[in-house]
Structure 1
Amino acid sequence: MISYLGRRAAYMAATLVAISLVVFVIINLPPGDFVTALTAKYNVMGQGLTEADIAGLRVRYGLDGNVFEQYWHWVTQIVQGDLGTSFEYERPVADVIGPRLGATIGVSFVTLLVTWGLAFPIGVYSAVRQRSIGDYAVTTVGFLGLATPNFLIALVFIYFSVTWFGSVPSGLCSPEWCDSAWNLGKLLDLLGHLWIPMIVIGTGGVAGLVRIIRNNLLDELHRPYVTAARARGVPEKQLLRRYPLRVALNPFVSTIGWVLPMLLVGDIVVGQILGLPTLGPILLGALRSQDMYLAGSIIMILSAVTVIGTLISDLLLGWLDPRIRMGIHQN
């Protein structure tokens, strides 16, 4: 196991280096840079900049060197724990993303719990009651949930909210509660706003996990060992808990790799539509303005969390599934 962890740590480091290169290249693919966008903005406002002004801005934002120098400067800053300074906000990146981390993790964590809490029993029921009316209903709703984009569901919620209540759902709190200290009133107000992004973001996740659990459990229920256990007279509920259901837990564990970054960034488009104070809208704005330190730092954080989540997922799968654990020990 120790040698396995050592190899995975080396793979993680190499993966993050490769990701940093890809991220930096993609962010710099559009023509121009932040200074180019800033110059165009000043021109639209009728405040033309001279060549000296533009050169000074490039020196100020560290864009006067070539691409390799900019990449090296950015990577060395990250290694030292400095995420750099946001061009657009003119503040350290850590100060820009810090206040939104709590809201992002809170929304995504609650959504994750609800998603898992709904998907697991529904998926098990659909598999055990195969070809029943409930199974057909779950399958139909699951296909609709997978086929419908989350942002479209968000727009539907906004439409009905405006039609029925005359207001647009936005943010996670009412204006009168946003700056107040935490108390029972603010908590109730938060819960009143939280259910909309929870349903919108969680719909696709519930539908996808239900399909995975149903298919995996159906596959296990037709295995020879299940047939043999039934022939020995093992009660159906005990048989389901001891063997096939343990295998059905694998999808939950294997999703940790992509669930952890979702806890940090959430759904970018839904966050933009619903006005959520999460990292998604900030990342979208940073990509638009080519704020490479802000966008690159967020993407690198998400990449690191994804790699770590994948490692945790592999270890938990090895603990949960003896077949995987034996493969790890053999290596």
Structure 2
Amino acid sequence: MRLLRGIVTKLAGIVLAILVIATINFTLVHSAPGDPASVMAGQSGATDEKFLEELRAEYGLDKPFMVQLGTYLKKVVTLDLGYSYRQRRPVNELILDRLGPTLLLTLSAFFLSLIGGVVFGTLAGLRHGKWSDLAISLVALLLYATPVFWLGLMLVLIFSIQLEWLPAFGYVDMRASSFGRLEYAWDVLRHLFLPAITLGAIYMAVYTRLMRASLIEVAAEDHVKTARAKGLGEGAILRGHMLRNAALPVVTFAGLQVGALVGGAVVVETVFSWPGLGRLTFDAVTARDYPVLLGIFLVMSVLVIVVNILTDLLQRLIDPRIAVR
């Protein structure tokens, strides 16, 4: 019963958080300057006031703010994200079409940055004060200081234009419809490599420096000195006494950075013409397509919540003492 109450309480908190996020998103989006009806009227070539009034009435834009908010929250509860003004399609369909590529890019960048940060941070921490430590720290600092869009353009210039190793833009080749499964998967992987590196590089730099500092701190603790005094090998000490304790702050910080990672996908998808939610967000902003923007913001918020839950589980796996507290 205690476990069941805990699960119910957690789920209730998640639902409440989603509704609060939806309310804040709706308020902020509708507070922005610009009128969707004017944009739609301009695209259709008609700008008279009567046509604008008809458009506002058709999409409920003429109703009071609180009425619009209540209608939107009712739809959110029923998993209805509305209808796109511009693309004339349900928002659910638009997001489902783009969600797969965004998840692939974001999760690839997340695990690449986390694993790379732990590996390089461990190497730097174990070689503290030596040339390899200085080299890794310098590269991490340079990556952290490099703008994401500039790094993406440089990678395209080097690996796509100069070396011609990898494709510069898109999700798959134009001939992908004739590919077999393995050939299709390999083509997607080739297109994914540069965007994932671009998106994950800055976070890999952060996790590298954090892992290095954490490992140096753990190495000075008494239990590590005791294990070394008992004659344990350095490999056993690293695996059994240092890595788990040192990796815990990195995993915690990575969970907190998921929101920024998802936000960074907007820039990366635009640079690489990646057909995900980032490109859809950019198009929706320029067209003032409020339902699409609200749907994307809500889905991204839910993704952040889910990843944070997974991060909590990973923390308990790394350090079982957390589950006891």
Band the TM-score falls in, shorter-chain normalisation: 0.7 to 0.9
- Residues 187 and 66 of structure 1: is their aligned pair in 2 closer, same or farther, counting only changes over 3 Å? same
1:35 aligns with one of 37, 54, 65? 37
Q: Deviations over 1:154-192 (max 9, x none)?
A: 122334444665x98211223233x44544443443333
User: What residue in structure 2 maps to residue 18 of structure 1?
Assistant: 20
| Distance apart, 1:213 and its partner CA | 1.2
1:230 aligns with one of 203, 208, 228? 228
| Distance apart, 1:41 and its partner CA | 4.4
User: What residue in structure 2 maps to residue 278 of structure 1?
Assistant: 276
Tell me the amino acid that sits aligned with residue 25 of structure 1.
T
1:217 aligns with one of 211, 215, 218? 215
Query: Counterparts of 1:256 and 1:189 in 2: how far apart (Å)?
Result: 30
Q: Is the Cα–Cα contact under 8 Å of residues 210 and 250 in structure 2 kept in the other structure?
A: no
- Residues 276 and 303 of structure 1: is their aligned pair in 2 closer, same or farther, counting only changes over 3 Å? same
How many residues of Structure 1 are paired with residues of Structure 2 in the alignment? Answer: 321
Equivalent residues in 2 for 1:243-322 (5 A)?
A: 243-251=241-249, 253-254=251-252, 255-256=254-255, 258-259=257-258, 262=261, 267-322=265-320
| Distance apart, 1:55 and its partner CA | 1.1
Bigger mean CA offset, 300-309 vs 251-260: 251-260
Query: Counterparts of 1:86 and 1:73 in 2: how far apart (Å)?
Result: 16
User: What residue in structure 1 maps to residue 324 of structure 2?
Assistant: 326
Equivalent residues in 2 for 1:127-206 (5 A)?
A: 127-160=125-158, 161-162=160-161, 169-177=168-176, 179-206=177-204
Secondary structure, counterpart of 1:208 in structure 2: helix
- Residues 48 and 172 of structure 1: is their aligned pair in 2 closer, same or farther, counting only changes over 3 Å? closer
- Residues 5 and 191 of structure 1: is their aligned pair in 2 closer, same or farther, counting only changes over 3 Å? closer
- Residues 182 and 113 of structure 1: is their aligned pair in 2 closer, same or farther, counting only changes over 3 Å? farther
Equivalent residues in 2 for 1:49-64 (5 A)?
A: 49-64=47-62
- Residues 104 and 273 of structure 1: is their aligned pair in 2 closer, same or farther, counting only changes over 3 Å? same
- Residues 48 and 139 of structure 1: is their aligned pair in 2 closer, same or farther, counting only changes over 3 Å? same
- Residues 127 and 164 of structure 1: is their aligned pair in 2 closer, same or farther, counting only changes over 3 Å? closer
Tell me the amino acid that sits aligned with residue 173 of structure 1.
V
TM-score w.r.t. the length of structure 1 is 0.87
Q: Is the Cα–Cα contact under 8 Å of residues 170 and 276 in structure 1 kept in the other structure?
A: yes
| Distance apart, 1:116 and its partner CA | 3.4
Flag as ranges the 4+ runs of structure 1 deviating above 6 A.
Answer: none
Bigger mean CA offset, 313-322 vs 14-23: 313-322
Query: Counterparts of 1:230 and 1:185 in 2: how far apart (Å)?
Result: 50
| Distance apart, 1:108 and its partner CA | 2.9
| Distance apart, 1:87 and its partner CA | 1.1
- Residues 242 and 148 of structure 1: is their aligned pair in 2 closer, same or farther, counting only changes over 3 Å? same
RMSD: 2.7
Secondary structure, counterpart of 2:124 in structure 1: helix
Tell me, yes or no, if structure 1 residue 102 matches structure 2 residue 100: yes
Q: Deviations over 1:257-314 (max 9, x none)?
A: 654895x776111110111111111012213322111111111111122223223322
Identity of aligned residues (%): 26
Q: Is the Cα–Cα contact under 8 Å of residues 227 and 237 in structure 2 kept in the other structure?
A: yes
Tell me the amino acid that sits aligned with residue 149 of structure 1.
P
Secondary structure, counterpart of 2:223 in structure 1: helix
Query: Counterparts of 1:103 and 1:303 in 2: how far apart (Å)?
Result: 17
Tell me the amino acid that sits aligned with residue 21 of structure 2.
I
Q: Deviations over 1:86-132 (max 9, x none)?
A: 11111001211222222222233333343334222211111111011
